[in-house]
Structure 1
Amino acid sequence: MKVLYTTSARSDHNGRDGGRSGTVDGHFSVKLDLPKELGGAGGPGTNPEQLFATGYAACFMGALRFVAGKEKVALPEDASVTATVGIGPRDDGAGFGLDVALAVALPGIEHARAEDLVAKAHIVCPYSEATRKNLDVRLSVV
C-alpha cells in the first residue's frame, strides 16, 4: 500500500479516565472522561468510543461520496451517516469489544439504489476494512 497521509496522536498517562489525547502536531486536543456506564464519573470530556464513532461516520461519508462520484450519483445536501458505537465485555471474557451500527440517510435516492451505494461504500471505507472480520458492522439505510 502506498501511504498518502500519516498522522500521530498521543494520550497521557491517565488515558480515558481524566486524561488528554491529541494529535502530535497540535491540531486536535481533547479531554477524556470515563462514562458512568464503565465505572467513571461521567465528566464532560469525550471518550474513545465517541472519537471512533465520529471518525467512522466521517470516513464512511467520504467513502459514500467517492462511490457516488464514480457512479455519477449526486448525493443530497442533507445526506448523513450516524455511527453508533457500543463497548462491553467480550463473550470470551478476555477483554472488551465494540459493537458498531451505521445508519445512512440519503433522502431523495430510491431505497434499493441507496442500499447499493452503502454496500459499495462499506467495501471502500478504510474503517470498514479495518474492522472487517473483527466485528460485525450493521448497515442500514434510514
Structure 2
Amino acid sequence: MTHADAQDRCTTWSYDAAGKLVERVDANEHTLRYRWDKLGRLIGLENENDSKATFLYDPVGRLLEEKGFDGLVTRYQYDPDSGRLASTQVGQRRIDITFDAVGRLASRTARQGDQRQEETFAYDGNGKLIQAINADSKLQWFHDEAGNLI
C-alpha cells in the first residue's frame, strides 16, 4: 500500500500473507521492518541503520520488557491479583501506579534514586476525574449536571 503526501512523496507499507505489517518505507526513505511471533505479537523492529528494538511478553501476552533502538530497556510489572500494570522501570527511574476498586488510576509515584514524586487522583460519583494532586500543585475539574466539563 502506498500513500503520497501533498508534495507527492510516498510512504509504502508492505504486508505478509497473514496481513501483518512487515515493512514501512517513509517519504524520506527511512525503513522500518517489523517482526511478529506466532501469536501475532510484535517482537522486533529494525530500521535502515540495522538498529533493533525488541519486545518480550509473558505467557498471557503482557509486555514484560522492551529494548529500544537506543539500547534502553523498559521493564513492566503487573499486579498478580488484578493483572493490571503496576510499575515500569527504565534504568534507575521507576514508576509505580495503583488503581481503585473500579479500575481508575488512583496514584502514580515516580522514583529515581532518592527522589520521589507522587500524584493522586480523585473521581466524582459518575467516575469523572475531578482532582489531581502532587507536592507542587492541586488541579481540579468541575462538571455540570450533564457531566460536561465546565
Name the TM-score class by shorter chain. Answer: under 0.3
Higher share of residues assigned strand? 2
Report the structure number with the largest CA radius of gyration.
Answer: 2
Calculate the TM-score normalised by the size of structure 2: 0.26
Higher share of residues assigned helix? 1
Calculate the TM-score normalised by the size of structure 1: 0.27
